[in-house]
A and B are shown apart, each in its own frame.
Chain A
Amino acid sequence: MRFSDQFEARFTEMLTHYPTKRSVLVPTLLYAQDEAGFLSDEVITEIAGRLDLTELDVRNVISYYSMLTTKPRGKFNVQVCRNISCLLRGADELIEHCEKKLGIAHKGTTPDGLFSFEEVECIGACSWAPAAQVNYDFHENLTAEKMDRILDEYRTKVQ
């Protein structure tokens, strides 16, 4: 299992921030997932080994956090907020639109592996609702048309 140099430098530094090794676990899992795409058995073994934890300890933590996943996802994970402020500004319709446009439902991935789709809880964009994140990028004040444009842009990014 190889991570980037940046990952390794950050990991080494983070270990110096806390009195216990284990404290780096949550951010480290997310950074590892960003590089590996998902938390595979191999990644879990590696991180457990580095932090003197059992694999079960690590899996227990993974299953708690909604951003962590042990299953492969699309290159672009489209996460549309379904919570109250977004709901009042058309989140239901936006979700339906995305599902139709991408041809997948909640937690699904397109056959070409490009997009995944997820309904998520409040992402802290309530005053700019309805809102979504694609991977870590925020997209706000969305309409169906705006969403289409955004998805097309991501699609062209890989070509």
Chain B
Amino acid sequence: MAELVSHPDEVRVVAKRFGKGATNIDRYLELDGYKAVRKALGMQPDAIINEVKNSGLRGRGGAGFNTGLKWSFVPKQSAKPKYILCNGDESEPGTCKDRLIFEEDPHSVIEGVIIAGLAVGASSGYIYIRGEYRYLLEIMQKAIADAYAKGFLGKNIFGSGRDFEVYWHGGAGAYEVGEESALMESLEGKRGVPRIRPPFPAVVGLWGGPTVINNAETLASVPPIILGGAEWFANLGTPKNGGTRLFCLSGHVNKPGVYELPMGYNLKKMIYEVGGGIPNGRKLKAVVPGGSSCPLLTSEEIDLPMDFDTLMKAGSMLGSGGVVMVDDSTCMVKFALRIMKFYQHESCGWCIPCREGTDWLMKTLTRFHSGGGIRKDIDNIQYLSENMLGRTFCPLGDAAALPTISIVKKFRKEFEDHLEGRPCPFEKKGAVERLPVFA
């Protein structure tokens, strides 16, 4: 369904089976499928954890936490069952990569879940897929059933004497449910409101048992690490940022698509060489480097390697891999408003700073963009956003505040151009112009 693209600079690790019919379990087996789990069955749990830790694999869901380290927090002994939970809620605006993994290579996720289970001593895992992705849930249901039929799941997997169950689970539409603690609430059949931490899920998670929660791409990266080794994977990327990553290029770019590039790939090159530059002879104005929660970069700030630490140093985040290009025909006030409308819509309402903050900000930005802004609003937007930071149970409040603060700081002049009843200076141009469509 979703179209595939390619570029010579791609290094295919997670995407290596894309377009090769690997949803079929026999085809998956031909393409090195389920080899990693066989190998892992012969390894000590600590050896698996160390391999993943040393590979420098960091969470692809957004926060970029070292995956092996996260696994090591799970207590060895536990009175309650331990669980692996694959986060396939993918809803961060700009992000469309987990979709391709589920569509093209669902068994790699199952394999990652089993290996994570072997590493932490869990004997069941859940794969949560957002409700909108119904066709992918069906692909996953079939993949799981096929794996059971082959004896790769269930009792005595691969004749090893170990048992492992994998279950699918479908959502019903909610961005907040992608947040790890809300994800567990949702799986337990409740409203997706976050839980207070500590205790962290690694200690108290699903139904009170220790739980490892990882993004689908993170888990799909695990089998190649077990097969190829930590050193190989680490060397694909930059120090402490192992491997490759699926970058989703979208917005004002000539060749949108999902490309697997090494960690640390230069952003400018990504935009102009991989993505083919900005359409219609326009100039780049800003980039959302990793999904809508990340502070924006201006066109002057893009000559940098795309890894977690560099982006952090640059005052932004690598986030979820959604790289959105914004050209100079775009009104940044409108862009800020659109982002805030999203967070206002998705705030679960549990924490007051997030619920009220996103609402006030949306209202202010709406009035401001329509020409009813006063100078004081500009600082107020920034002040309100800053007051949401770190004051909520989950980072959705931060996710709303961070891009907003960056837009006010970096594009203040555009706010000033909307003052004194002036209509939006971009309204006529930008939006109406048709972009090339790759149908």
Contact = CB atoms under 8 A, between A and B. Distances in A.
A88 B324 contact: yes
Interface stretch (B113-121, B165-173, B222-230): B165-173
B172 A26 contact: yes
A67 B325 CA distance: 29
Nearest to B141: A10
A17 B257 CA distance: 36
Residue of A22, A27, A84, A121 ringed by the most chain B CB atoms within 10 A: A84
B164 interface: no
Interface residues of A, number: 47
Contact of A83 (B3, B135, B342): B342
Contact of A20 (B96, B132, B207): B207
Contact of A121 (B1, B135, B175): B175
A124 B438 contact: no
Instruction: Classify the secondary structure of A's interface with B.
Output: loop
A141 B438 contact: yes
A53 to B, nearest CB: 8
Interface in A22-56: 22-27, 29-30, 51
Interface stretch (A97-105, A107-115, A132-140, A151-159): A132-140
B190 interface: yes
Nearest to A51: B189
A54 to B, nearest CB: 13
Contacts of B143: none
Contacts of B58: none
A89 B256 CA distance: 11
Interface stretch (B34-42, B243-251, B306-314, B360-368): B243-251
B437 A141 contact: yes
A20 B189 contact: yes
B332 to A, nearest CB: 12
A129 interface: yes
A142 B435 CA distance: 11
B431 to A, nearest CB: 6
A140 B93 contact: no
A127 B186 contact: no
A65 B348 CA distance: 10
B127 to A, nearest CB: 11
Contacts of B326: 88
B251 A85 contact: yes
Contacts of B93: 83-85, 121-122, 126
Contacts of A24: 189
A89 B132 contact: no
A87 B325 CA distance: 12
A140 B292 contact: no
B370 to A, nearest CB: 14
B133 A124 contact: yes
B28 interface: no
Contacts of B434: 90, 143
Nearest to A63: B191
B175 A30 contact: no
Contacts of B330: 88
A93 B435 CA distance: 12
A60 B191 contact: yes
Which 7 interchain pairs have the tightest Cβ spacing? A67-B173, A25-B189, A66-B173, A22-B189, A65-B172, A85-B250, A136-B134
Given A19-B207, A84-B292, A126-B251, 12 more contacts: A64-B191, A65-B131, A66-B174, A67-B131, A67-B173, A84-B338, A88-B326, A90-B435, A121-B345, A129-B251, A142-B437, A143-B439
Interface of A: 17-20, 22-27, 29-30, 51, 60-61, 64-68, 82-85, 87-90, 92-93, 121-129, 133, 136, 138, 140-143, 146
